Amino acid sequence: MEQLEQHFRPEERPFVERMAEWAELVRERHHPRLTPFLNPREQLIIRSVVGHAPDVKVKLWGGFQQAERKRAWIIPDYLDVTWDEFQLALLNIKASQWVNVTHRDVLGSLLGLGLKREVVGDILITPETIQVIVVQEMEEYIRLHLTRIGRHQVQAEKADWSALTVPEEEWQAVTAIVSSLRLDVIVAECTRQSRTKAVQLIESGRVKVNWKVEDRPAEVLKEGDTISIKGYGRFLFQEIDRKTRKDKFRIHLGFKK
């Protein structure tokens, strides 16, 4: 366990330990465990943790294949689960008219009901529809209490999964060659600015790593990290391709405005 933990940040270790404990309980008692919604970094962590545990496996699902936020079942390796066992619900949010409603507006209204982020999955916005994937047990509560998003009066209705409308994939693939995996180096690459400017962005609190403000320029990033830069968009550190002859890193990033 100690050897596994050293691959993760100190603030991630409580989650690593909890998932390791769950995996061990599943192995010993053969009783599956279902997580709340996990962000992509947490999904990577749980796959790593369960991958090191004998006789157990992990299955992920968020309502559709490309979902960003997913729940995970930790199960004995002789079992399997179907998509409906992830206990998800799809809600359509209706209003007489939508004007410039953003992901942040919808999420803010949901959290304003007292919900935790972990019970809300992907928020899907198209010109015609707004849909939200949530844990099944919160579906009725949201339908009863979500009456407003911004200036709009709204009504949330349960929808059949056949009505799911997935927006076109917005991630753009980016390949970069960087001298190190430090946050300031990668932020400089993402924003096409100098490291000095990148450090200013970081130290002014405009950069988040895995949805938390990160003000340490020397923080070393790991595969699966999501970097949000205010005014520049969101970047997913997908993987390290290889090292170059000059001992630099060739990395793959995903970019979303």
Residues 68-97: pLDDT tens digits?
899 999 999 999 999 999 999 999 999 877
Query: Does 180 have pLDDT greater than 90?
Result: yes
pLDDT of residue 168: 78
Structure tokens at 146: 């979500």
List the CATH code of the domain at 87-163. Answer: 3.30.70.330
Q: Which of 61, 7, 11, 56 is nearest to 36 (CA)?
A: 61
Structure confidence at residue 210 (pLDDT): 86
- For residue 198, what pLDDT band results from cuts at 50, 70 and 90? very high
CA distances (Å), origin 251, targets 9, 43, 116, 176, 190: 20, 20, 33, 5, 12
- Residue 5's pLDDT band (cuts 50, 70, 90): low
Residue 157: pLDDT above 60? yes
Q: What angle do CA 109, 135, 123 make, to 5 degrees?
A: 45
User: Which residues, in sequence order, are CB contacts of 130 under 8 Å at separation 6+?
Assistant: 92, 93, 98, 101, 106, 123, 124
Query: How many Cα atoms within 13 Å fall on the side-chain side of residue 165?
Result: 12
* φ, ψ at 78 (rounded to 5°): -95, -5
Evaluate whether 86 touches 61 at the Cβ level (below 8 Å): yes
How many C-alpha atoms does 188 have within 13 Å on its Cβ side? 18
The mean pLDDT of the chain is 91
Which amino acid is present at 209? V
**CATH class for the domain made up of 172-256:** alpha beta
User: Which pLDDT belongs to residue 12?
Assistant: 85
pLDDT digits (tens, 9 = 90+) for 36-59: 999 988 998 899 899 888 899 999
**pLDDT, tens digit, 9 for 90 and up, residues 16-34:** 999 999 999 999 999 999 9
CATH fit for domain 2-85, picks 1.10.10.10, 3.90.650.10, 3.40.50.800, 3.30.1370.160:
3.30.1370.160
Q: Taking residues 55-64, what's their average pLDDT?
A: 96
**Taking phi first (over 0 means left), then psi (-120 to 50 degrees means alpha), and beta for anything else, what does residue 247 get?**
left
Domain boundaries, the chain: 2-85, 87-163, 172-256
